[in-house]
Structure 1
Amino acid sequence: MLSQKKILVVEDNAINREMLRAILSAEYEVLEAKNGKEALEVLNEFGENISLILLDIVMPVMDGYTFLSVVKENSAYSAIPVIVTTQSDGESDEVTALSHGAADFVAKPYKPQIILHRVASIINLRETAAMINLIQYDRLTGLYSKEFFYQRVKEILIRNPDREYDIVCSDIENFKLVNDAFGIPAGDRLLCDVAALYKDRVGNRGICGRFNADQFACLLEHRWTYTNDLFLEALNQINELTNARNVVMKWGIYRVKGRSASVEQMCDRALLAAQSIKGQYGKYFAEYNDELRNKLLREQAITDEMEQALEQGQFEIYLQPKYRIKDDSLAGAEALVRWNHPKWGIQSPAEFIPLFEKNGFITKLDQYVWDKTCRVLHEWEDKGYPELSVSVNVSRADIYHADLVGILVHTVKKYGLPPSRLHLEITESAYTENPKQIIDTVNNLREQGFVIEMDDFGSGYSSLNMLNDMPIDVLKLDMKFIQNETAKPVNQGILRFIMGLARWMNLSVVAEGVETGEQLERLREIGCDFVQGYFFAKPMPCAEFESLMVPQGGLARQSVSEMGREKQVLLVADENEEYRERVRKTFEARYEVIECSDGAEALEKVAECNRQVTAVILSLELSDGFSALEALRIENCVWNIPVIGTGAADPEVEEMALEQGAADYAAKPHTMKSLWKRVIRVTGFDCWIGEEETLLENEVYRDHLTSLLNRCGLEMAVKELKKEDTPLAFCLFYVGNLKWVNGESDCHSKNLLLKRIGEVLRRHTRKADMVSRFGEDEFVVIMRQLGSEETAVKKGEEICRKIELCAGGVSGKCICGTEIWDVDEPMSEVVERAYLALYRAKSKNAGG
């Protein structure tokens, strides 16, 4: 009995797959795949034993057009006919499908008889036209067909084993756009012009063939010296002959030295060389070499590891802080992904993100990042941190996902977050590809409450009219755009115009990549809203970012006056162990948290701790909760401990609690942030933080004149440095002749000058840096995470110039000694080296 012919159904919708199976299974063996990636795996297993592919276009992971392109470029599968199925029956979709190599096109919903007739017809055509592989010439161009070109190359190589040959392949960049913009006849004329160029240039010295669509190849004996000018001349010739102007072609060269690789592999390698320079202006050819081979092997290794890495949680979320310019407050963050591979270590996103965008894995990774980011936001709420928003990236591939809105809405609901906490960054260039679809998708996202940011604004080619049509909330200026524009005089750049445009459109503006104080000041001057960049902080792990939030959220870190002093006690009595643990994690940085599971035990602990108990959080749902509250009220004259009652959201219970002496009542469920604020209020701790801590810190650890850290304060601050802060730059500044101001000794003027110097140092350093008045006329800045000595010296020189500008009447100069410092080294040793560097600088500036 003959086996049934195999048909591969590629469709992400399970119901549609089942319908097609029901239609086809009586006559064919039906194989299934949920997306393009799975379909390629099925192809690898069954190869040309598959008689036909029924292919959906809109799918996750790898869409139909991408799959079709991959299949048609693979000689092993390119002859398998493909019928495209789609919800749309528009002519443009049909033309697009056919231009990608589809054999036919059917619209949903499926009509069984039409499906069966078309499938049978195309399979019959394929079988009866098996001789196509033996046809020598391409019908359109007259060059050898791909299969016959392979056969001829094999014959030539066999007949001439001692000769060296080159295979030269070419690819037209964005050939699809030629067909779309000028029509298929114009595209065909372009292909014929390219074929004529090959015939003319190669002549009798080799053979030429046309591969899929716009790919051509030739075999030449290795005699030529290839230069960029040679291929540029050929490209100019093509553009002169064709109606389609500004065509760009890339050529790849594979040098045939041995015979170990198949002809198909040789041609593939030449095409890979051509593809490796796509998008590189002014570069028209590339040779396949060990560097390219290693790059491809590296990409394959990454591809092999990516699925397992996602499953094992090797991808980690890093956050880069975003600051509000007008008050320098922390305003949010951008979520970035890092790959912490167990063997390779931390991998640069610049290496794996472009590859994931190319192979379709980016959609899985993005959804993973969205989920992890929402989990972090939820944990912040539990800890009582400020309700900051975090931006996440939405890739081009995500936009075309059929259920993008549903996925994002489900993710924020899963963690109980309002959509506005998750800002969605869509790169500027994505808006130019399919504006209508992106506008529709983004409008749906905004209706759900998400905030939309246009990322990398200034890096692409969006028109002002397009910008006006885009449904966005935030403009995010491209890093290079910021660097270029802030280097220009204020009246020559267009930043001010962009800010005015943003105001007119009611958009907020974020500037990324801010690296210098000058850039910050320019952005501040023109009214930019938010900034981020290395001037403030690098991307950091979530735990490190949380330390930046502590002062803002009321979760105060241990103050200077508390050092060496025993912590006060916070007692929580509650029947729920998980609730007690959340309270402990929230308050343990400030208090010693004692947990109890009933009221009687709580009273015992209060008696043991005596006056050290600052407050009691008491569940009135305990069987003895109210009796414990009553006991604490009776003994209030002895203990004077405020009690926060907790329980159901019942007005009668709340009123009873307050009548029996509770200082406050927190209805469950409630956030830890809410509970923290209640504790602050009933203990009066906010007053103490605002006055006593500031007073003591100013008196003991700060210079009274400049308000910078004094030497004692600097030494105390240095003790808090961690390994993650390295490399550190220790900059020692000396300001000469401070006693001479306006030509005479003037103590008042000198003090004013010192205050101005302190302001300059604060203004031109980051919040994370340590700034100290180290001596009478010496100042120290310790900069965290500064990459190199060259950068540190440059920053030191910049600060010196600012100090000299502010001290216009001082006859001396500001000199800086800079040293790179590892935190494990004693501070005394780096100070000694910095003084030596300072003296060397002084000797070069005699009299300063």
Structure 2
Amino acid sequence: MFSRRKVLVVEDNELNRSLLCQILDSNYDVLEAENGEEALKKLKQYGEGISLILLDIVMPVMDGYTFLSIMKADPSYSFIPVIVTTQNDGESDEVAALSHGATDFVAKPYKPQIILHRVASIINLRETAAMINQIQYDQLTGLYSKAFFYQRVKEILLRNPDRKYDIICSDVENFKLINDVFGIPAGDRLLRGIADMYKTRVNNIGICGRLNSDRFACLLEHNNIYTNELFSEISTEVNNFLEVRNIVMKWGIYYIEDISVSVEQMCDRALLAAHSIKGQYGKYFAVYDDKLRNELLKDQAITDSMEDALAKEQFLVYLQPKYRIKDENLVGAEALVRWIHPELGFQPPDKFIPLFEKNGFITKLDQYVWDKTCALIKEWDDRGFTPISVSVNVSRADIYNADLADILIKIINKYGLAPSRLHLEITESAYTENPKQIIDTVTHLRELGFIIEMDDFGSGYSSLNMLNEMPIDILKLDMKFIQNETAKPNSQGILQFIIDLARWMHVSVVAEGVETKDQLSRLSEIGCDYVQGYYFARPLPKLEFEKLLSADSRKDAESELDDVCEILTELPVLLIADEDKTYCENIRKALRGSYQIVDTNNSTETFGYLEDHPNTAGLVVSLTLPHDDGFKIINFIQSEKQYWNLPVIASSAANADLESRALDSGADDYIAKPHNMDSLLKRVQRSVRDAAAQRKIRELQETAYKDHLTGLLNRHGLENAVRSLNKKDLPAAVFIFDLDDLNNHNDECGHRAGDQELTQFSMILRACTSEKDLLARIGGDEFVIVATQTSAEGIEKLGHEICTASNNKCIKNEYTWSCSAGAAVMEELDIFSDVLEKADQALLQAKKENRGSCCFWKEG
């Protein structure tokens, strides 16, 4: 059932390479390379079949750092974890290795137990994440997921180079509006209906998948029979899925001529064709053609020059002044980016921002703007201008960056600014895409002291529930919304309601796009706080904006907006359990601005603090605390489920035995004293990120590893759980159960009744086993138990107990099915598939000789 994983050892010293191979050989298939160049050849040969790389740094031909740089730049291999090995145990080498993309770091001479522990831990984390990401089918529609659809299309094109194919993609116009008006369940019904339409029409002549939300795609062999009437007919069919009759779908077609183009690009081009006819009544499909291709070429020209433009600082920060309505004083600004191209001249943002958001460059540009903005604020402070805060845009792509908070904190610390001086603008529409993740991220940023503004409010599909959940300080009203609403009589608009709602939520309101005196008067009447727009000033370059600052520096700089900006919040807490007070104080000084440090010096104090503060961000625990308290703390964390997401870093003077013991006990990392604080900060941040990743993986496992009917593990979940067992769990009993005649029961009473019996049988299994045992449903009526630490007598007792309990249940319900079982003993961890096969043979014997009983496998 399980194949051995491949580990690549890259080491020029033959003796060291041989030692590593000897350590790993018992558990892994080991590949060898003498230098980085040879290692790249092995990568090309084995690709993603390699589970992990052990890499030396100092090598001839190509050193480890060069190899890492090349490997991490190639998306085909960048996900493979790398453990760097080196002769030097210095902190600088470790930090350098981690900054080049290494996953972990070990020093020579090699300690077999530590090598095996770290290799197994990293491979398990990577494979668990990969298994989650490789789920083939979209859960809502049953079509291929986006990633698997791309993979299947690529396989088909490579297998059939002489055939011509088309990619067809569809998009529902204003799908979010459908969700908002008719509700998410209705939107889901529509999506399932569209999926059924694809299944019916594509059937056996192609494949189809769901790309995201309301976007679908299919691959068909090329033909020239696409007509507007065909897609009009399909559109009518789609409109029958809901009672509403105004659902508009657009289709785009891409004729595949060059299979070297990525499947993602093919779908993008088909969707670009669909997008080109958006809003055109009666036109249902479009084909990707030269006109669209030329638009892509223009986009490509921008893409080709963007890196060079950033390096040469062609992007400039302009400032849109922000004024307080009640006294019309300048109180802040919004930072906007402008591109002054040396050949093309001034480039409006709507020409490059959407493209940068799509290709991911927006994250670099945003960070550039953040840095330049903070530099300006620092310069103005030094020149004695009235202190102001400046708003910067945070793109959707930034929100999904796990390092976002660290990046922002690093920038403001670079210029010695308080986080409240930088306002973070996040568009209203961004909240609707992945509300939970965005709310969690924004909440963390707000806790760090940043001021959060919801930008473009009124331009998307707002809901009161969403607004109530948003962690925001300032509401920015969309420019078009302002222009439309201020043109209405007071009795007909909803501006007053929004202002009152903001007051109730204790947030301030900024109105964008104010162009006339009448608009300003109307906003003043209803109690709006701040405005920006051409009525006061257009976006200004630095020197012109400084003239406004200089003129305003004589005015009173204290304002309500500044009061909002001074919100003080605590940094995340890092708990240090250590007997050395000087060491704790050094950490407090070094990590100021990143973490709030709390220190304890024994297990009792530590347990008490954690009980009162369960949301502590991380724990650094000394292994040399008196009375072995360091290990008591680690064991406590492992035993209490509520603390499983708390990352633990063990510390002591360099001691291989203590390190090995700590890692085996469940510590996430180990750092030897003395060490520099940059290394500790990196380890803490990495451990916190890994803990967050593990938490998300556990959440996903609830779906990916569980049987939806019984709540037990499914086959994938069982395989993963067996991998997590260790020697102390042995010997273990492996049972396989089968519900006899359940198919007949389904035929007589219906599948719902059969499902009820499967659910009740799972409850019997839970009642007869302990929490440490593994329970799984691996087929229609087949169940597996792995009962750990079970004696031969215990095995026989458990098997008969379950069969008897199940058969008694059948008698009471007057059903004719019974439960048969086979069992075998597992005494080694890597033979589970063989033991399961033996249990299956025993099950067959039980069915032949004595249905409703448990048979035990014996040699011969």
Indicate the TM-score class for this superposition, using the shorter chain for normalisation.
Answer: 0.3 to 0.5
TM-score by length of 1: 0.45
Kindly name which structure, 1 or 2, has the bigger radius of gyration based on alpha carbons. Answer: 1
